């Protein structure tokens, strides 16, 4: 579900915001509320908001776009918990960035799960449940913005907001095969955000493309007088699209923690940047690595304690045990220790400055390895530290970063890289990230892991429809809501129970049809296909971006006496139109 797809559907009247919101809640019901969501906006309230938008308006850049909000950002009238029920309060107004997005036409769906008080990169430290990667439930989702990443990766919303102090907007993006943008510190207001480290916190963006992330950031950014750490926009940092220098650490400084397939994927990512005109240079990662190690020591650990000191002292048993152990470590840090830490960071920053003389942008793995829930349970702090090896320094050194998918590891989990630049290089990073993504030879691979078959469905198997349970029973999961290429017609078939459509390839005179792409385990794909009744069959379908995937198609005999519903753009609008007719039929008079 990309913003471009939604806006295109609205512009052509193939969909309305109210229909999209109903579909959104249907997908959420199908997946289940926990552990992704902590609070949902009541469905009728979200639909009412959608209906108030009226017809498509160009002056609302996010017209009718559903989004999710990490539950340490305020949404008026909806509780904010920061992953701790005892901390909960109901704000009288929304966070500045949330309100900007709503004013631009976006529709808030709910608040998402997180590592409690945004402390962690794992996504399991929450009383609302431990989140898993959409690629494999055995593996963690990454955190702390776990629910926000999954909401996008699972196709529940078009984009979401998280926060990023140590990598929380990047690691979960990497483990779920999506884009995670960590803007320049202060570019997006943190007013209305529960602080972790107030001097470092950033609101982050999860999206399906860098193009979407750039649009969202353009709406959400801006100086905010109510935020003491907001900054007026600086001079944009850019570099030539031809001949830019990108830095990669010395080979002996790269850590993949035993995952050699990740090392190979990182090398391929460097190859792609060279194909885009980049000039690779080697740099010394030591000052960045050493700065990263300061984040959970000295001033910044004490700052985490200061952020919730009153609460933690009044509710000593309310915190997750690991969260409490980490944050309470800040109690022991004195003022002299804090200054010592700040002096060391300043020294490292000066050393790091010299490394930027030879490069415009830095290329790093987002996370060296991906871990299972079982592994994290055995070593919760040590493995969390490893996940921050390439992320913890970015805010400390006042840099911007975008995490982008870069392939699939040998264990079936996605691998991602981060493009990192100086403050105010946000737009340039997103532009490069978009070009990097467009160069992936098999873009579907970043969504559909090894061992799964991507299958497009257009009717009774859609989320919320009567046969969707068959996909769930086969172990499939939703990876994308999108459109076909404009080469198809959709027909309502006669005599099928439950009612089903037939998809027909018609290169001349065709249109784009709404589909969902599901990842079906290869081991169960044959059994699933064997259960497909005539006149339906499994064939190929071209998606709007040109990818070919397996899909439901129809035998020619099925189109006899079938009703052409292509003008509606999909099966759900047709089903809704039948429901509307039924309601009219039972009205008195």
pLDDT single digits (tens) 538-560:
999 998 878 889 999 999 999 99
Report the pLDDT value the prediction gives residue 578, as an integer from 0 to 100: 82
Q: Please name the CATH architecture into which domain 452-585 falls.
A: Roll (3.10)
| 3-443 and 452-585 in the same fold | no
CA–CA dist 396, 294 (Å, integer): 9
CA–CA dist 235, 343 (Å, integer): 27
Report the pLDDT value the prediction gives residue 450, as an integer from 0 to 100: 60
CA–CA dist 110, 132 (Å, integer): 19
Q: Name the residue with higher pLDDT: 300 or 586.
A: 300
Residue 428 · residue 421 · CB < 8 Å: yes
340, pLDDT greater than 60 = yes
Residues 418-434, mean pLDDT to the nearest whole number = 96
Residues 430-450, mean pLDDT to the nearest whole number = 65
Does the reported pTM lie above 0.85? no
C-alpha 470: how far from chain center: 26
- Tokens for 523, please give them: 């081991």
Burial class (CB in 10 A: 0-12, 13-18, 19+), 46: buried
pLDDT single digits (tens) 67-118:
999 999 999 999 999 999 999 999 999 999 999 999 999 999 999 999 999 9
Report the pLDDT value the prediction gives residue 502, as an integer from 0 to 100: 96
CA–CA dist 584, 581 (Å, integer): 5
Query: Which residues lie closer than 8 Å to 472 by C-beta, 6 or more apart?
Result: 30
The Cβ-side half-sphere exposure at 588, using a 13 Å CA radius, reads 0
Average pLDDT, the chain: 92
Just list the catalytic residues: 70, 144, 168
How do the domains of the chain map onto residue ranges? Answer: 3-443, 452-585
- Tokens for 242, please give them: 């031809």
- Tokens for 437, please give them: 């993504």
The residues pairing with 203 across neighbouring beta strands, listed in sequence order, are 163
CA–CA dist 340, 170 (Å, integer): 29
The residues pairing with 372 across neighbouring beta strands, listed in sequence order, are 139
Q: Which residues of 486-506 are buried (b: 16+ CB within 10 A; e: fewer)?
A: ebbbbbbbeebeebbbbbbee
The residues pairing with 87 across neighbouring beta strands, listed in sequence order, are none
The torsion angle over the Cα atoms of residues 437, 442, 447 and 451, rounded to 10 degrees, is: -150
Specify the CATH number of the domain 3-443. Answer: 3.90.1300.10
Of 100-114, 176-190, 390-404, 573-587, least confident by mean pLDDT is 573-587
475 in the Ramachandran plot: left (φ > 0), alpha (ψ -120 to 50) or beta?
left
Angle, nearest 10°, between helix axes 210-220 and 96-103? 110
Residues 223-251, mean pLDDT to the nearest whole number = 91
322, pLDDT greater than 50 = yes
C-alpha 271: how far from chain center: 25
Residue 115 · residue 41 · CB < 8 Å: no
CA–CA dist 33, 19 (Å, integer): 20
CA proximity to 301, closest of 268, 341, 245: 341
The residues pairing with 478 across neighbouring beta strands, listed in sequence order, are 518
476, pLDDT greater than 90 = no
Q: Name the residue with higher pLDDT: 579 or 3.
A: 3
- Tokens for 558, please give them: 């099925």
CA–CA dist 448, 412 (Å, integer): 9
Query: According to DSSP H, which parts of 156-209 are helical?
Result: 171-175
* Strand pairing report for 514-521 and 245-249: unpaired
What distance separates the 2 farthest-apart alpha carbons in the chain?
A: 83
Residue 114 · residue 82 · CB < 8 Å: yes
């Amino acid at each position: 579900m990309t913003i471009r797809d939604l806006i295109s559907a609205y512009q052509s009247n193939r969909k309305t915001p109210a229909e999209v919101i109903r579909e959104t809640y249907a997908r959420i019901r199908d997946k289940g509320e926990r552990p992704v969501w902590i609070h949902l906006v009541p469905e009728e309230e979200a639909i009412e908001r959608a209906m108030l938008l009226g017809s498509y308006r160009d002056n609302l850049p996010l017209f009718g776009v559903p989004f999710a909000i990490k539950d340490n950002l305020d949404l008026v009238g909806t509780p904010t918990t920061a992953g701790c029920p005892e901390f909960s309060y109901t704000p009288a107004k929304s966070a500045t960035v949330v309100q900007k997005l709503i004013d631009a036409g976006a529709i808030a769906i709910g608040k998402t799960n997180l590592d409690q008080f945004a402390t962690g990169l794992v996504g399991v430290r929450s009383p609302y449940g431990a989140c898993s990667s959409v690629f494999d439930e055995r593996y963690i989702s990454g955190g702390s913005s776990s629910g926000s990443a999954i909401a996008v990766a699972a196709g529940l919303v078009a984009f979401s907001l998280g926060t990023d102090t140590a990598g929380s907007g990047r690691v979960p993006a990497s483990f779920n095969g999506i884009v995670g943008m960590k803007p320049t510190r202060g570019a997006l207001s943190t007013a209305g955000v529960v602080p972790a480290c107030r001097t470092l916190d950033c609101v982050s963006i999860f999206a399906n493309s860098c193009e979407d992330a750039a649009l969202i950031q353009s709406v959400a950014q801006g100086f905010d007088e109510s935020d003491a750490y907001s900054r007026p926009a600086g001079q944009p940092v850019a570099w030539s699209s031809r001949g830019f220098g990108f830095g990669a650490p010395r080979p002996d400084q790269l850590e993949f923690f035993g995952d050699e397939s990740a090392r190979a994927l990182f090398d391929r990512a460097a190859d792609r940047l060279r194909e885009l005109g980049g000039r690779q240079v080697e740099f010394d990662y030591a000052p960045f690595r050493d700065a990263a190690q300061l984040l959970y020591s000295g001033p910044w650990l004490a700052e985490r304690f200061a952020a919730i000191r009153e609460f933690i002292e009044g509710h000593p048993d309310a915190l997750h045990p690991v969260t409490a152990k980490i944050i309470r470590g800040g109690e022991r840090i004195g003022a002299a220790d804090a200054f010592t830490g700040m002096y060391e960071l300043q020294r490292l920053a000066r050393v790091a400055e010299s490394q930027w003389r030879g490069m415009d942008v830095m290329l790093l793995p987002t996370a060296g390895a991906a871990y299972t829930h079982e592994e994290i349970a055995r070593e919760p702090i040590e493995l969390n530290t490893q996940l921050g090896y390439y992320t913890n320094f970015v805010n400390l050194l006042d840099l911007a970063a975008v995490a982008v998918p870069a392939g699939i590891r040998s264990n079936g989990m996605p691998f991602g890289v981060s493009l990192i630049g100086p403050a105010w290089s946000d737009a340039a990073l997103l532009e490069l990230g978009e070009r990097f993504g467009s160069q992936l030879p098999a873009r579907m691979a970043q969504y559909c892991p090894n061992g799964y078959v991507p299958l497009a469905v257009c009717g009774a198997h859609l989320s919320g429809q009567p046969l969707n349970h068959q996909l769930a029973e086969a172990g499939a999961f939703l990876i994308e809501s999108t459109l076909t290429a404009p080469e198809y017609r959709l027909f309502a078939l006669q005599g099928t129970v439950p009612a089903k459509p037939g998809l027909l390839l018609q290169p001349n005179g065709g249109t784009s049809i709404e589909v969902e792409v599901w990842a079906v385990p290869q081991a169960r794909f044959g059994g699933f296909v064997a259960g497909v009744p005539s006149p339906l069959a499994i064939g190929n379908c071209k998606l709007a971006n040109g990818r070919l995937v397996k899909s439901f198609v129809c035998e020619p005999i099925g189109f006899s006496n079938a009703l052409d519903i292509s003008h509606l753009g999909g099966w759900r609008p047709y089903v809704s139109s039948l429901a509307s007719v039924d309601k009219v039929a039972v009205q008195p008079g």
